């Protein structure tokens, strides 16, 4: 029974869990003295017969702050499998009134979470998926890409807005709001404005916004070299009907001997230099004899 428990909990166990499994305090002490168990923090132990994995490290970090502690931010994002790599510093949220020292390699946030913003995953309390996405996307190492991927596969925009509004006073809330606004219905127009700003800041000229080509308006057109640029909001906004219309208009534009470059909101926010390099290369190629 104990081995099964340890297997499911990455080799980490608390004193309370050990006692519930029938271990006395003296039995726990014997295992610590023999080196079978290693103390991670007060009342939290690792059974040292297996590798100390990232999952064990995160679990021990959260359990070290007591039963009210919750993994949050990028730590919760990794636990939810939204990111590939566990952060080196585990973020743990504890109730505002809790006391105790901060443990090494952890970042503590003191706040009271709504019950609907906390879930249990594989025996560990973590922030719910919507709150995790909203918070992790606003942190370095998360960003728009994390939110974009989550919206495509795991959550909907309404749930993200609700999680954000329930936790408005938190650290990073203004950046979260900007990301959510860009992901809302105005995402395409926000991406268009960002494209125009990017072109202006880079000193690229010869373009016209909302330029008409083949009976359609493209977001930005370069009439001389015949290069059209189209931008999209976050990928999850593309429904089947919109997808079909976009392909028909793109084909019509290409038949008029125009190059069509397509960029996403994610391209413009995360990789603007790459966007500019592609645009310049397309114009250069079009101007070659």
Residue with tokens 């973590």: 126
pLDDT grade for 236, boundaries at 50, 70 and 90: very low
Q: 221 pLDDT exceeds 90?
A: yes
pLDDT of 237 above 60 = no
| Helix (H) or strand (E) run with residue 147 in it | helix 143-153
How much is the CA Rg of the chain, to the nearest whole Å?
26
Question: Tell me, what DSSP letter sits at residue 115?
Answer: G
What was the pLDDT predicted at 5?
Answer: 86
Kindly report, residue by residue over 172-198, the tens digit of the pLDDT.
888 888 888 777 755 566 778 889 999
Q: What is the pLDDT of residues 99-132, one digit of tens each?
A: 777 888 999 999 999 999 999 999 999 999 999 9
The pLDDT, as a whole number, for residue 232 is: 76
Whether 135 contacts 172, CB under 8 Å:
yes
End-to-end CA distance of the chain: 77
Query: Which one-letter DSSP state was computed for residue 266?
Result: H
What are residue 255's phi and psi, to 5 degrees?
-65, -15
Check whether 277 has a pLDDT greater than 60.
yes
Least confident of 42-46, 123-127, 248-252: 248-252
Kindly state the average pLDDT of the residues 271-284: 95
Q: Choose the weakest-confidence range: 82-86, 209-213, 255-259, 269-273.
A: 269-273
Which helix H or strand E contains 163, and what residues bound it? helix 157-166
> Is the pLDDT confidence value at 273 over 80?
yes
């Amino acid at each position: 029974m104990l081995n099964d428990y340890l297997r499911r909990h990455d080799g980490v166990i608390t004193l309370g869990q050990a006692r519930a499994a029938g271990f006395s305090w003296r039995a726990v002490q014997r295992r610590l003295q023999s080196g079978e168990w290693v103390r991670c923090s007060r009342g939290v132990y690792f059974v040292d017969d297996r590798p100390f994995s990232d999952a064990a490290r995160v679990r021990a970090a959260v359990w070290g702050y007591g039963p009210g502690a919750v993994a949050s931010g990028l730590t919760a994002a990794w636990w939810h499998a939204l990111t590939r790599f566990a952060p080196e510093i585990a973020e743990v949220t504890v109730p505002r009134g809790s006391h105790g020292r901060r443990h090494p390699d952890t970042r503590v946030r003191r706040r009271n979470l709504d019950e609907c913003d906390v879930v249990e995953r594989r025996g560990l309390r973590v922030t719910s998926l919507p709150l995790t996405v909203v918070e992790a996307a606003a942190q370095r190492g998360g960003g728009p890409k994390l939110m974009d991927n989550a919206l495509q596969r795991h959550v909907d925009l309404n749930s993200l807005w609700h999680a954000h509004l329930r936790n408005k006073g938190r650290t990073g809330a203004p950046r979260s709001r900007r990301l959510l606004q860009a992901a809302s219905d105005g995402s395409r127009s926000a991406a268009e404005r960002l494209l125009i700003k990017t072109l202006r800041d880079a000193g690229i000229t010869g373009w016209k916004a909302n330029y008409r080509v083949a009976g359609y308006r493209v977001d930005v057109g370069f009439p001389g070299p015949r290069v059209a640029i189209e931008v999209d909001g976050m990928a999850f906004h593309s429904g089947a009907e919109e997808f079909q219309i976009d392909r028909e208009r793109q084909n019509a534009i290409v038949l008029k001997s125009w190059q069509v470059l397509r960029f996403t909101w994610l391209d413009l926010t995360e990789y603007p230099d790459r966007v500019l390099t592609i645009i310049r290369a397309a114009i250069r190629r079009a101007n070659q004899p």
